Structure 1
Amino acid sequence: MRFFSKPEDVAPVPEPTLTMQEELRIAVEKSKLPENVRHIALEELTKLDRTDSSFAEFGLGVTYVELLLSLPWNISSQDNLELEHAVTVLNQEHFGLNGVKQRILEYLASNITCHIKKSTVLVVDDEQISRDNMAYSLNKLSCEVLTASNGLEAVDILEERNVDCIVTDLKMQKMDGLELLNYVQEKWPDTKLIIVTGYATVDNAIGALKKGALHYLPKPINLEILRNAVQEILEQQKQACSVSGPILCFTGPPGTGKTSIGKSVANALSRKFIRLSLAGMRDEAELRGHRRTYVGAMAGRIISELNKCGVNNPVFMLDEIDKIGQDFRGDPASVLLEILDPEQNRHFLDYYLDTPFDLSKVMFITTANMVDNLPAPLRDRMEIIPFSCYTLNEKKQIGLDYLAPRQLRTLGYSQNEIAFTPEAMSTLISGYTRDAGLRSVNREIGNVCRKINLQILQQLKKPPITISSEDIVSLLGYERYTFEAATAQPLIGVTTGLVWSEYGGQLIYIETAKMKGSGRLIMTGSLGEVLKESAQTALSFLRSNATKFSIDENLFEQRDIHVHIPAGDISKDGASAGVTIVMALLSLLTKRPARRDVALTGEFTLSGRILPVGGLREKILAAQQAGVRVILLPERNKKEVQVMNDEVRNAAELHFVSSINEIVEHVLLPSAD
């Protein structure tokens, strides 16, 4: 007897499980990878088919194919092309920095213009029907389409109009397609050309492509193929236009908003933002990746960050580019030459990826404190946008409107419950901070808010609370900084100078002394070679003009002269202290006291000329914070100072000098003898 089971009693046949290679192959086929990348992925999967899954190479191959699939080869975010939106974002998130904002808006405006500009296509064909059909099809690309019946008409149009792409027939009277191609290549090399013809042969195609044609399409023409080819050319033209500008490099003292304004640029364009700090990076493989033959190989940071980001057109900030290291493992700055060059980064090669990745859509922004530390070829590829230090009024306004509300929000308070008076903010800034940026201001505001919060919790105070200048002193203690220059008494051989460093403007005091000796010049204070040479130049000038300044000539042979700059643990160099040194020596040798509330800056030459120097805005504001009343600047810097805003020009009494005699009148007091 035979028993038959019911259909529902039959165990279901399990579906065959796919191998890892089969799953990846299906993913590759479904993905929209570029053709060359798709070919590489399929080749790697073919190798995996012949590799045992227990081998380490199998896992490495799977990881590599998964990276190829996950990278944003063709995925871009949509840009916000409204200039008013960019203006609003920059003004909402940053106060001041008008010159920086203006330059950024100019940069964004050029990119916006490239995207919104309507492209122009010229169709050249001696057959009316063919010409009209191609023009009708190309009109669907939202571009302006012009037509011409032969090459000569096309040349006349090109003389008057800007044309992005030309679609031309090969055989025409008066001027055929190849003659037109040669003429266009010679006079308008940026205009791309597509040849269509009913006489398509291999020789003709090879000849046209060799002469510069991008495509060679036979008749009867497939209008969809033609439209796709023209669309690709126009998109490439717009992309090339938008990335042709220089890479922006934000440079200035710490805390002046370089990184945060980079985020604002990303917000203005509605792009994703990536920040990569290069400080201390020594191995170039961190940027370019390792070859897959190495154990533990991985892609470089550029490709890895783009993979995490998910789009190929973010705003990519390379922070602290001037602090890159260099040793036996390579020079990362050399890799940046390729990354930041629009002509090269279209084919950026990561060693792990081992196939070019197009970085031309990425908007790179770099930051540095001192661009002088950058290699010259790298600096040449970037446009330097300086970030100046903030004035006292700007710091006060930013503290009241931005920093204080932000600190209060972190503690759960509103401005109605705790508020700073303008006088309190001025006391905090002038008495407890000295940096060019806002980090110290933000830190001290946070200290005040936390102390107030503790007093509220201890029921010592109750909101609403208004913080006054007296409250600042009682909460933070005695003022750490005073107007030292304004209160200092005149001394013989001591002068006040202004210098500029990567941290902004600073005051220095040149101290000199003479003693019995043999005419030596002693320099101390951790000084660089340029500064030592400035001191030697100043001494030689005074020796050669001893009679003019009523200096005993025998003094130079019978005395040693010591020049010292305090803060000996800090390295100092530069030529802008030359004027300060020569006045300190002149005060010492003539026994005339020097005013401490008069600050000097300028390079001094052996012939007595005063040469211009840089960093004047930072120097003037540093002098203002120290209470300097008079600032002497080189005459040749006068035009630069005149374009600064009123607050900087009125920070102190400015005098422009061109000779040593003018300086003597302002700095040296009559001798007490």
Structure 2
Amino acid sequence: MTDEPMDIVIPILTDCDNDDDFSEGIDKQITEVPILPLRNMVLFPGVALPVMIGRTKSMNLIKDKANSKAMIGVVCQRDMEVDEPKQEDLYTVGVIADVLRVLDMSDGMTTVLLQGRKRFELQELTQDEPYLKGRISFIDEQVPENPDREFKAVMSNIKDLMIKIMMATNELAKRELAHAIKNNNNALYLVSYASANQLNDVADKQMLLATNNLKDRAYKLLTLLNKEFQMIELKASIQMKTQEDIDKQQKEYFLQQQIKTIQEELGGNTGDRDIQDLKEKAMTKKWPMAVAEIFDKELHKLQRLHPQSPDYSVQMQYVQTIVGLPWETYSTDNFNLNHARRILDRDHYGLEKVKERIIEHLAVLKLKKDMKSPIICLYGPPGVGKTSLGHSIAEALGRKYVRVSLGGLHDEAEIRGHRRTYIGAMCGRILKNLQKAGTSNPVFILDEIDKVTNDFKGDPAAALLEVLDPEQNSTFHDNYLDIDYDLSHVMFIATANNLNTISQPLLDRMELIEVSGYIQEEKVEIAAKHLVPKEAEIHGLNKKDVKLPKKTIQAIIESYTRESGVRELDKKIAKLMRKLAFKKASDEALPSQIKPEDLHDYLGPVEYTRDKYQGNAYAGVVTGLAWTAVGGEILFVETSLSKGKGGKLTLTGNLGDVMKESAMLALEYIHAHAALFGIAEDMFENWNVHIHVPEGAIPKDGPSAGITMVTSLVSAFTQRKVKSNLAMTGEITLRGKVLPVGGIREKILAAKRAGINEIILCKENQKDIDEIKPEYLKGLTFHYVTDIQEVIKLALLDEKVENPLF
């Protein structure tokens, strides 16, 4: 329960003489009195106010002193939430009061009528139970003996303001109160009465009570009454302005209208300023007339809405989206072809096809000026620089660069946007990123386009069909914007790892450029020119601290990485740099250079080993060439024979269906042409065949080991040696024809690394050899064949192995 004024407090105006200071009859020698703490109110000398009593200690005090006519000290609390106030919780200035009357209410509460007499200062609390007592010292009032004209004028203004406030707020006994105030000339009482009943802030009341000089108190009171009356007038003004708009359907807007009026009084409406800003931005736009008309129409709708209306923010967002898009704003392309070439060569080693395509596009753009931008799709294994290539292209063309990652995207609205009828609707990522770029012709990277998924929310890949079609994207339609936008000047570059997951219609709209894995020589150059300097700078090292010869980089690539790109190589170089940084920070001497044999100390034991050519001492062991996602590899096809009826064929080595079919095809071909190879017919009935391809844990598939399997089987059935340092790759048919295969560049380099110097290929693969740089082909001899018979003549010697089976 709290001690506070009654819900309806009727000001009690007492009769008093003009010079009455209300201290008559007080024993001024009293030094200790009971203390009644009050909440939410301050009692003044001469003022009578009803107080509702609820706390136990306060009840004990009233019951003890109500009949004894003893005076009590009334003090206001600093913090209204404290139930058991200590001395530090009370103000130091209070008022001695008489208990005029005690009334027990029907609801169990007790109401006490207190009459303020004289101010005092609370020195300390001397008693806590059953109620508070405190030691006090009285404060004399400093009342002017001969009031001057200024003081009289101040008091007159106080009277006028009191009457105005009463007439505006109190409907009870207006005339009687106004008449009593006008005829009362006791300055102390009028100041006390006005302070107690006309002000609402407890802190202001306590400040007035603590002011000793009556003249100073009157001035402060006049200032506070002026503020109080201005607030009352402002409330009345707000009510007058809003009264016309209030009806049964508009009651919920009542407070909103009040806020609006207050904002206008404070210096203008925020909504008006926002609309003015939108108009100024629109003046700078170079957009089509149709868009300008739609903008004006939507802005007019916005002006009709109230700023506090729920629809206002929705409409504001839509208008801001329209004005925020770079309509017909284009950056100037840099047509310097030599500059573009330098930028591309500086940032990326190799990737000649991609660079050539960009230079061609720039050349055509230079001549024609208005060519529609192409849709390029760079596909290849991870870590080969597909995404980072976008930065270089943007810099070479002098365009803005934006990137959107499509990995895991499954909501069509991410591309086309949501319709405005939905809560939280917004435009799609395409327009959002154009808004961020600030131009309508940026280089736009659509990263990981092969990882777009679909669900019940639609198919984003289908939405991309319009974006990536040069014939349609000039009128791209975003559901949120609902206005056609021209994307034909945007240079879209999509990146993908696997084309098999991209829908055929989407593939058809893009120009596919393969970014194949780097060969070892390219990786060495990339590491020496880019990765080593970059990682040295990141780790706080300079060029003098890091000396990494190309042989050491080559050893890192061969022994510690297995990838198509250079991401893992970058991590290994970073690991090596951390070791060097630790040594430098520990004031240890850095090595003059890091040799391949030192890598064990920096990178740990060797993680990968390359297959090496194993010789031709065994019949049925032939070296083949394979393509993997991390580059080319050599593999061995091993065939062994064991006696047994029925000629059973066993295949091992984690082979895929296509590779198993190649093995069966090879055996059937040899069986059908046994006489050509000098193989007895009964061998197929009395010997079981086992073909194995190491390494057994690694999945293998594809038709390119066809001629390798035929050669291995013929070598096993005839026990003839295979030509040394020879490898081969090619698909076979049932008629013995050799067909071309892919991944030739990677396979050739794998053979060279393994020490192979002769390679058998299909005749049609010669065009792939012509595209490889001559320096990568030194020391290699190529044999181009069209029939399996040619392969056997080239691969097998007439000499038989030692200890043949038969």
TM-score if structure 2 supplies the norm length?
0.61
Further displaced range: 565-574 or 269-278: 565-574
| Counterpart residue number, 2:577 | 449
SS of residue matched to 2:453: coil
CA–CA distance in structure 2, aligned partners of residues 562 and 27 of structure 1: 82
**Deviation digits for residues 391-432 of structure 1, max 9, x if unmatched?**
433332322222211111112222123222233223323333
What does 1:249-648 correspond to in 2, within 5 Å? 249-462=377-590, 465-487=592-614, 490-512=617-639, 516=644, 518=646, 521-523=649-651, 527-556=655-684, 561-566=689-694, 572-592=700-720, 597-648=725-776
Q: Partner amino acid for 2:329? A: I
Give structure 1 stretches of 5+ with no counterpart. 4-9, 116-237
Query: Where does residue 148 of structure 2 map in the other structure?
Result: none
Offset of 1:367 from its aligned partner?
2.3
1:89 aligned counterpart, secondary structure: helix
Q: Which residue of 1 aligns with 2:68?
A: none
Give secondary structure in 2 for the equivalent of 1:367. strand
Q: Over the residues paired in the alignment, what is the CA RMSD in angstroms?
A: 3.4
How many angstroms apart in 2 are the aligned matches of 1:483 and 1:60? 63
Q: Where does 1:213-232 land on structure 2 (aligned, <5 Å)?
A: none
Within the candidate set 30, 43, 53, 2:283 is matched to 30
Amino acid in structure 1 at the alignment position of 2:413 = A
Q: Which residue of 1 aligns with 2:269?
A: 17
Q: Are the equivalent residues in 2 in contact too, given 1:369–1:502 (CA < 8 A)?
A: no
Q: Judge conservation of contact 2:626–2:635 (CA < 8 Å) in 1.
A: yes
Higher mean C-alpha displacement, 67-76 vs 475-484: 475-484
Distance 1:521 1:289 in 2: 59
Q: Distance in 2 between matches of 1:555 and 1:55?
A: 93
Matched residue, 2:218:
none
TM-superposed deviation, 1:607: 0.8
Change in Cα spacing, 1:45 to 1:618, as seen in structure 2 (3 Å) is same
Deviation at 1:502, TM superposition (A): 4.3
Deviations 1:55-107 (A, max 9, x none): 65443332222222211122222221222211221222233334432332122
C-alpha separation between the residues in 2 aligned to 1:309 and 1:523? 58
Question: Which whole-Å deviations, capped at 9, do the CAs of 1:244-303 have from their partners, x for residues lacking one?
Answer: 6x4222233333332233221111111111222333333333222232334443322212
- Structure 1 residue aligned with 2:783: 655
Cα distance, 1:570 vs structure 2: 5.5
2:293 paired with 1:39: yes
Which structure's CA Rg is the greater one? 2
Change in Cα spacing, 1:22 to 1:280, as seen in structure 2 (3 Å) is closer
Of 497-506 and 46-55, more deviation after overlay is shown by 46-55
Corresponding residue of 1:110 = 364
How much does 1:562 deviate? 4.8
* Cα distance in structure 2, aligned partners of 1:39 and 1:490: 85
CA shift in 2, pair 1:630/1:298, >3 Å? farther
**Gap change, CA 1:563 and 1:257, over 3 Å in 2:** same
Q: CA deviation at 1:356?
A: 1.6
Is the Cα–Cα contact under 8 Å of residues 512 and 584 in structure 1 kept in the other structure?
Answer: yes
| Cα distance change on mapping 1:341 and 1:454 into 2, 3 Å | same
Residues 551 and 590 of structure 1 are in contact (CA less than 8 Å); yes or no, is this contact kept in structure 2?
A: yes
Residue 514 of structure 1: CA displacement?
5.5
Instruction: Return closer, same or farther for 1:623/1:55 CA change in 2, 3 Å cut-off.
Output: farther
Give the C-alpha shift of residue 451 in structure 1: 1.1
C-alpha distance in 2, partners of 1:277/1:508? 37
Residue 76 (str. 1) matches residue 330 (str. 2): yes
Q: Is the 8 A contact 2:546 2:593 kept in 1?
A: yes
Question: Contact (CA 8 Å) 1:493, 1:586: kept in 2 or not?
Answer: yes
Deviation larger for 317-326 or 105-114: 317-326
What is the CA–CA distance in structure 1 between the aligned matches of 2:486 and 2:412, rounded to whole Å? 19
Kept in 2: contact 1:299–1:353 (CA 8 A):
yes
Could you tell me how far 1:25 is from its partner in structure 2? 6.0
1:310-355 per-residue CA deviation (whole Å, 9 max, x = no partner) reads 2111111222333333455443333332212211111111222222
Specify the SS of the correspondent of 2:399.
Answer: coil
Instruction: Name the CA distance, whole Å, in 1 between partners of 2:649 and 2:311.
Output: 69
Partner residue, 2:346: 92
Residue 552 of structure 1 and its aligned partner are, at CA, apart by 4.4
Aligned CA distance change for structure 1 residues 550 and 364 (closer, same or farther; 3 Å): same
SS in 2 for 1:248: strand
Q: CA separation of 1:434/1:16 partners in 2, compared to 1, >3 Å: closer, same or farther?
A: closer
2:307 and 2:790 mapped to 1: Cα distance?
Answer: 85
Q: In 2, distance between residues paired with 1:517 and 1:349?
A: 72
SS in 2 for 1:250: strand
Structure 1 residues 402 and 49, CA gap change in structure 2 (3 angstroms)? closer
Aligned partners of 2:311, 2:265: CA distance in 1, in Å? 34
- 2:637 aligns to what SS in structure 1? strand
| Partner amino acid, structure 1, of 2:602 | L
Identical positions, percent: 42
C-alpha deviation, 1:517, in angstroms: 6.9
Tell me the SS of whatever aligns to 1:418. Answer: coil
- For 1:243, the equivalent position in structure 2 comes to 372
Question: Is the 8 Å Cα contact of residues 290 and 297 (structure 1) preserved in structure 2?
Answer: yes
* CA deviation string 1:39-68 (max 9, x = no partner): 334444455566666665443332222222
Deviations 1:550-588 (A, max 9, x none): 334445456664545456665544322222232333344
Distance 2:461 2:634 in 1: 33
Shifted more, 339-348 versus 362-371: the winner is 362-371
SS at match of 1:486: coil
CA distance in 1, matches of 2:267, 2:322: 29
Change (3 A) 1:249 1:29: closer
Deviation string, structure 1 residues 24-49 (Cα, Å, up to 9, x no partner): 76357535243333333444445556
Query: For this pair of structures, how many residues does the alignment match?
Result: 541
Q: 1:288 to 1:646 in 2, by over 3 A?
A: same
